[in-house]
């Protein structure tokens, strides 16, 4: 992807990752029947932040977000696919 595209996309990814990450974390923390739907939100958030880290060349942040992405995918699998 060209540098110009990243320049346009990064602010969106940062905002999206922040908003859906907070929404997902709050939903999970509430521990209500719909809490399982917080997992796809935090999965989307960690994926967005992984793209940001990749674009900025932040290897430590990228590794952290890839780890979170795996954990969040497990959450989706356990809470929505297996439990459903």
pLDDT, tens digit, for every residue of 25-54?
Answer: 999 999 999 999 999 999 999 999 999 999
Nearest in space to 35 (alpha carbons), one of 78, 73, 79, 77: 79
Enter the tokens of residue 24. 């997902």
Q: What domain range is 47 assigned to?
A: 3-82
The pLDDT tens digits of the residues spanning 55-73 come to: 999 999 999 999 999 999 9
CB 24: neighbour CB atoms within 10 A?
23
Contact between residue 73 and residue 43 where contact means Cβ atoms under 8 Å apart: yes
When pLDDT is averaged across residues 7-14 and rounded to a whole number, the result is: 93
The pTM of this model reads 0.90
* Number of domains, the chain: 1
The pLDDT-based confidence of 84 (bands split at 50, 70, 90) is: low
Enter the tokens of residue 38. 């917080």
How much is the pLDDT for 6?
Answer: 80
């Amino acid at each position: 992807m060209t540098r110009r595209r990243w320049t346009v996309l990064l602010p969106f990814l940062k905002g999206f990752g922040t908003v859906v990450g907070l929404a997902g974390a709050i939903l999970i923390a509430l521990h209500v029947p719909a809490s399982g739907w917080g997992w796809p939100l935090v999965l989307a958030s960690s994926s967005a932040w992984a793209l940001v880290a990749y674009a900025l060349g932040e290897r430590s942040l990228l590794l952290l977000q890839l780890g979170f992405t795996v954990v969040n995918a497990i959450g989706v699998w356990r809470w929505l696919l297996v439990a459903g």
